[in-house]
Structure 1
Amino acid sequence: MTGLTRRRLLRGLAVAPAAAAIGTPQIARAAEIELRYGNNLPATHPLNVRAGEAADRISAETKGRVALTIFPNNQLGGDTDMLSQVRAGAMTFFTPSALVIATVVPTAAISAVGFAFADYDQVWQAMDGALGAHVRDVIAKANLHTFEKIWDNGFRQITTSGAPIETAQDMDGLKIRVPVSRLGISMFRALSAAPTSLQFSDVYAALQTKIVDAQENPLPIIQVAKLYEVQKHCAISNHIWDGFWFIANGPAWNALPADVQEIVASAINDAGLKQREDIKALNGSLQAELEVKGLAFNGTDPDSFRAKLRDGGFYSEWKGRFGDEAWGVLEGAVGKLA
């Protein structure tokens, strides 16, 4: 990963950084335009490293006219707080996951439909193409500007303390922790599992005391939370892909001079593409490291999961919720689901 080491990243994910704006070198100069960007990730996460590079580029290309200050690690509040702030104009930029912004724009969650995407090639073709454009158009109706390139949050994988998950049949009765997400809960119920919503801070203890036997998260989270200590198997299920939309307060964005908009958009979109590569490389190295720590990995049969969801009415239900237009764009990218 260019300019970013795995050790540096994992240290930052495991330990919250000191409360400081990443963009402070730019803020030290008297800028004509000051942009505030908040997010929920540590300062050393690829998202913030690449955003810091974008801030440097924006300052350089505007000759100090524009300063982008980054507030990582929930310094400006939780996801709900930051989403409210960017909508109100108290904050210029925010990077909510699709599931977070879906609380305001439900269609945004369509990229997180269970087992929709087979791989990253399919993800980026869809999100850089018609599906991403459709979601951005819907978000715009909420008075928010969305940059063209969505940033990567990653595919989620299933870990268990008991038998490995290989097919949909293995999900029957599985006590699995899931985030508070209507879409996620609906999916696991359709797979005949027994999902329980818990705050992430409670996950390790819940697995350790057998309140739940399984959980699902991207590999970096499994690593930093040391979930391998209380789990035996990790199924590369790729059951949900999620990304971070880089959004702006609509009126604040529209008020910027056209030349500033062009510089900022180019810097942020280019940084997003680099961040995608960072996450891809990180996931590849983490699997090998987690195997050394005793977590056994196995593949899965995605067709069996899709068949179970289809037969259980999951896809039909969410087609109705998202609407024919959005669902048609999704299926245009990934093939027939419902």
Structure 2
Amino acid sequence: MNRLQKFVLGCAAAMLPFGAQAEEYRLGLITPPPHQWTVSATEAAAEIKEKTEGRVDILIFPSGQLGNESQMLQQLQTGAMDFAFFTLGEFANRNPNYGIFLAPYLVDDVAGARELLKGPTAQTLLDEMSDFGLVGFGWGMAGMRIIVTGETVDTVENLAGKKIRTIPFAPELAFWEALGAAPTPMPLPALYDAFANGQVDGMQIDVEGTWNTKYYEHAQSIIVSNHMMFPMAAVGSGRKWQGISEADREVIDTVFARKLDELVARYGEIDAKYKAELEATDVSVKTVGRDWFGAAIDAWYTEWREKAPMLVALEAEAQK
């Protein structure tokens, strides 16, 4: 470090309140920079830095730069990493109750998902993040799930035997197995090339990712089914959390909670915007409902009400 760099660092430290110490923290997530999760994480980090007067500086690492979610979870548990926006995969594989948000047609739209993600069952599961050595800040989500395929799909029977990229957790795999497809877990950063070269025949995804990552360029069919919501958990390392002052913890908690709720609320508009963009392409875009999937959905519920007892309570909340 040269003299100028030392001088700049010294001036920055002098601007902090007496006794305070600036520290850099790392937030990892698997989504690319344009994705709304990454955008919201970046916005939250900037606000937290401002409101803590620079004491908490959260650096954002998108696109799995810090590893896949399994690797990042281990880093959070050891304190080698500080914050993350996670899909439910690593939690649902350890506790089936975390998979209940993926129940097909549990909600009709983003507005319904937003209410459930603020409800008592969601809060209970957030509090139980301590079982993983984590602190839970709140729930976000991506858009409602759709199906994108490289070949034309008219009926659910056309999906039989198709390799469909999924997230590697049990409730999602079970859904696709019930449809007779071959669910194929794969890291999100590898999906574009895998779809382009035929390693997978299709994917369960959202309209935002389909448009921004240009998966539609290699697609023949887009089935707008909106069959699942896709929650995200914002979490922090329990080990590192204890080292942050109470005042700064309150700022982090408050900013994340608000930004996550804003993120979920945006998805109604986001889904509508990108659906319109996709409908303007040459790809066939077909909207379907629950009946399109046949008996597979009822079979899924029969299995998962037993495997994940909290599903019944969540269904009751959804019906209200």
Q: Note the C-alpha offset of 1:128.
A: 0.5
* Equivalent residue number for residue 150 of structure 1: 139
Q: Note the C-alpha offset of 1:171.
A: 5.1
Q: Note the C-alpha offset of 1:202.
A: 6.3
| 1:245 counterpart SS class | strand
CA contact (8 A) 2:26 2:81 kept: yes
Residues 1:274 and 1:154: Cα distance change in structure 2 (over 3 Å): same
The answer to whether the aligner puts 1:315 opposite 2:301 as a matched pair is yes
* Equivalent residue number for residue 162 of structure 2: 175
CA contact (8 A) 1:190 1:314 kept: yes
CA contact (8 A) 1:151 1:243 kept: yes
Structure 2 letter corresponding to 1:83: L
* Equivalent residue number for residue 3 of structure 2: none
Structure 2 letter corresponding to 1:42: P
Aligned-partner Cα distance in 1 for 2:39–2:124: 28
TM-score by length of 2: 0.82
Structure 1 letter corresponding to 2:211: Q
CA contact (8 A) 2:27 2:83 kept: yes
Q: Note the C-alpha offset of 1:228.
A: 2.1
Residues 1:57 and 1:223: Cα distance change in structure 2 (over 3 Å): closer
Determine which of 64, 69, 80 is the counterpart of 1:74.
64
What's the CA shift string for 1:108-147, capped at 9, x where partnerless?
Answer: 2221223322211221111111221121133222221101
Residues 1:165 and 1:52: Cα distance change in structure 2 (over 3 Å): same
**What does residue range 125-144 of structure 1 map to in structure 2 within 5 Å?**
125-144=115-134
Structure 1 letter corresponding to 2:44: A
Q: Note the C-alpha offset of 1:294.
A: 1.0
* Equivalent residue number for residue 254 of structure 2: 266
Structure 2 letter corresponding to 1:228: Y
CA contact (8 A) 1:164 1:233 kept: yes
**What does residue range 1-338 of structure 1 map to in structure 2 within 5 Å?**
29-30=12-13, 32-34=21-23, 35-147=25-137, 149-165=138-154, 169-170=156-157, 173=160, 175-179=162-166, 180-198=168-186, 213-303=201-291, 305=293, 307-310=295-298, 313-322=299-308, 324=309, 326-335=310-319
Aligned-partner Cα distance in 1 for 2:192–2:34: 23
TM-align CA RMSD: 2.9
Aligned-partner Cα distance in 2 for 1:146–1:285: 30
Structure 2 letter corresponding to 1:72: P
| 1:77 counterpart SS class | coil
Aligned-partner Cα distance in 1 for 2:204–2:284: 15
Q: How many residues align?
A: 303
Aligned-partner Cα distance in 1 for 2:191–2:132: 34
Aligned-partner Cα distance in 1 for 2:287–2:281: 18
Q: Note the C-alpha offset of 1:248.
A: 0.9
Aligned-partner Cα distance in 1 for 2:49–2:127: 29
Unmatched 5+ residue regions in structure 2?
Answer: 1-8, 14-19
Residues 1:265 and 1:199: Cα distance change in structure 2 (over 3 Å): closer
Aligned-partner Cα distance in 1 for 2:254–2:129: 20
Q: Give % identity.
A: 25
Q: Note the C-alpha offset of 1:295.
A: 1.8
Aligned-partner Cα distance in 1 for 2:65–2:202: 31
Aligned-partner Cα distance in 1 for 2:61–2:223: 34
CA contact (8 A) 1:125 1:333 kept: no
Q: Note the C-alpha offset of 1:94.
A: 0.9
Residues 1:201 and 1:92: Cα distance change in structure 2 (over 3 Å): closer
Structure 2 letter corresponding to 1:134: T
CA contact (8 A) 2:111 2:268 kept: no
Aligned-partner Cα distance in 1 for 2:284–2:313: 37
Aligned-partner Cα distance in 2 for 1:205–1:55: 31
CA contact (8 A) 2:28 2:61 kept: yes
Greater shift after overlay, 118-127 or 184-193? 184-193
What's the CA shift string for 1:21-53, capped at 9, x where partnerless?
Answer: xxxxx9x94461523222222334332333233
CA contact (8 A) 1:191 1:308 kept: yes
Aligned-partner Cα distance in 1 for 2:44–2:198: 44
Structure 1 letter corresponding to 2:287: G
